[in-house]
Amino acid sequence: MAIDITRVGIIGAGQMGSGIAQVCAAAGLDVHLNDREAARIEAGLDVIDASLAKLVSKGSMDEAASREARNRIVPARTFADLGGCDLIIEAATENEATKREIFTALCSSLRPETLVATNTSSISITRLAAATDRPERFIGIHFMNPVPVMQLVELIRGIATEDATYESSKAFIAKLGKTSTMSEDFPAFIVNRILLPMINEAIYTLYEGVGSVESIDTAMRLGANHPMGPLQLADFIGLDTCLSVMQVLYDGLADSKYRPCPLLVKYVEAGWLGRKTKRGFYDYRGPTPVPTR
Ligand SMILES: NC(=O)c1ccc[n+]([C@@H]2O[C@H](COP(=O)([O-])OP(=O)(O)OC[C@H]3O[C@@H](n4cnc5c(N)ncnc54)[C@H](O)[C@@H]3O)[C@@H](O)[C@H]2O)c1
């Protein structure tokens, strides 16, 4: 039977986890926000405060609604604090071992009927489900970045996901005012299967000296009508996440066309992960972004 979701636990308070927390709270749900680092929860709450303040200043949300939404989000220091939730959404770093460790440690704190979801961009839902005690109540709920702005959420069923889990998740997404699509459980699902190889190709284009950062981004913005250039978008997503998705495509589909560009690997090895570390294909430390190549 489908369940009505009113209390949501979120694991990982980074750019995605904080965005998911905000939209859930704005839709009237209670949110418990967890991260392995307490400082990241605080930082996530600051991001939410700034985002809500922006909505109020633009007139898209009134002051009282913003305050109510913010008050619905509470920090969860341990997995035990997530025990009363109807749904857990894992939005931690895109690393399979990290996610498996979380699921293994999490499940004993949850009620049997609690649904568990992952926001992974690319990793097999069926494989992650196997790290839980409830593969039938496990699903991929893949939000897009930035969560408060983007309309789409991909739902991905693992091999064991029950219909009730899918229906509950679909109703939950509708409650958030967003649109869901259904994708089969293949590496990187639909959006990233198409988007990330395009970004990786843009990085090869830079690597081979076909164009500069500025030329490549301008070409795709004005020549293909993309709202953002692919290198700007890569910085926005996070270069570690981009690399991880390409690795999942390369390993999972065993086709050389998905080989991650060595320049992407180099940026990640340097710790230049894009906007979140203030440096990637652009340097964000000054008043305007400056290309790094
Ligand atoms: N960035 C995007 O554009 C985007 C879009 C859709 C989905 N995603 C997916 O969302 C997830 C999170 O991505 P992000 O961009 O928010 O990353 P991020 O680096 O901004 O945040 C990740 C957070 O996870 C926390 N974390 C790591 N290990 C943890 C653990 N064991 N327990 C609790 N917290 C832990 C980190 O401290 C960090 O705060 C990834 O799976 C990513 O693929 C990202």
Is there a single domain that holds both residue 171 and residue 263? Answer: no
Is there a single domain that holds both residue 142 and residue 284? Answer: no
Q: How confident is the model at residue 84 (pLDDT cuts 50, 70, 90)?
A: very high
Is there a single domain that holds both residue 81 and residue 134? Answer: yes
Contacts of 184 (CB under 8 A, 6+ apart): 156, 157
Report how far residue 8's alpha carbon sits from residue 88's, in angstroms, rounded to the nearest whole number.
Answer: 6
Q: What is the number of the ligand 1 atom nearest to the C-alpha of 276?
A: 20
- Torsional class of 118: left (φ above 0), alpha (ψ -120 to 50), beta (otherwise): beta
Report the number of distinct structural domains present in the chain: 2
Tell me whether residue 211 is annotated as binding.
Answer: no
Domain CATH number, residue 271:
1.10.1040.10
Is there a single domain that holds both residue 57 and residue 134? Answer: yes
Is there a single domain that holds both residue 108 and residue 45? Answer: yes
Across the chain, mean pLDDT equals 97
292 C-alpha to ligand 1 centroid (Å): 25
Q: Give the pLDDT confidence score for residue 204 in this predicted structure.
A: 98
Among 165, 183, 201, residue at a domain's last position: 183
**Pairing mode of beta strands 30-34, 73-75:** parallel
- Residue 101: inside a domain: yes
Report how far residue 280's alpha carbon sits from residue 231's, in angstroms, rounded to the nearest whole number.
Answer: 9
Q: Give the pLDDT confidence score for residue 284 in this predicted structure.
A: 98
- Residue 23: inside a domain: yes
Ligand 1 touching residue 14 (CB < 6 A): yes
Q: Give the pLDDT confidence score for residue 192 in this predicted structure.
A: 95
Place of tokens 């990793």: 123
Segment 255-280 shows an average pLDDT of 98
- Residue 240: inside a domain: yes
9 C-alpha to ligand 1 centroid (Å): 14
Segment 279-289 shows an average pLDDT of 98
Is there a single domain that holds both residue 136 and residue 237? Answer: no
Is there a single domain that holds both residue 212 and residue 94? Answer: no
Among 124, 152, 183, residue at a domain's last position: 183
- Residue 1: inside a domain: no
Nearest residue (CA) to ligand 1, atom 40: 94
Q: Give the pLDDT confidence score for residue 148 in this predicted structure.
A: 96
Residue 154 structural domain: 7-183
Contact 86, 10 (CB under 8 A): no
Is there a single domain that holds both residue 17 and residue 127? Answer: yes
Q: Give the pLDDT confidence score for residue 2 in this predicted structure.
A: 87
Ligand 1 touching residue 276 (CB < 6 A): yes
- Dump the DSSP string for 36-57: SSHHHHHHHHHHHHHHHHHHHH
Helices (H), 140-261: 163-175, 191-207, 213-223, 230-237, 239-253
Is there a single domain that holds both residue 100 and residue 237? Answer: no
Q: Give the pLDDT confidence score for residue 137 in this predicted structure.
A: 98
Q: What is the number of the ligand 1 atom nearest to the C-alpha of 122?
A: 43
Q: Give the pLDDT confidence score for residue 1 in this predicted structure.
A: 81
Ligand 1 touching residue 120 (CB < 6 A): yes
Tell me whether residue 62 is annotated as binding.
Answer: no
Percent residues over pLDDT 90 in the chain: 98
Pocket test for ligand 1, best of 10, 16, 154 (most atoms within 8 A of CB): 16
Q: Give the pLDDT confidence score for residue 263 in this predicted structure.
A: 98
pLDDT single digits (tens) 6-59: 999 999 999 999 999 999 999 999 999 999 999 999 999 999 999 999 999 999
Q: What is the number of the ligand 1 atom nearest to the C-alpha of 95?
A: 41
Between the CA of residue 250 and those of 104, 188, 233, 264, what are the distances in Å? 26, 10, 21, 14
Segment 192-202 shows an average pLDDT of 97
Is there a single domain that holds both residue 233 and residue 102? Answer: no
Contacts of 64 (CB under 8 A, 6+ apart): none
Task: Check residue 31 and report its DSSP letter.
Answer: E
Is there a single domain that holds both residue 126 and residue 178? Answer: yes
Paired tokens of 158: 């693992």
Report how far residue 242's alpha carbon sits from residue 281's, in angstroms, rounded to the nearest whole number.
Answer: 13
- Residue 2: inside a domain: no
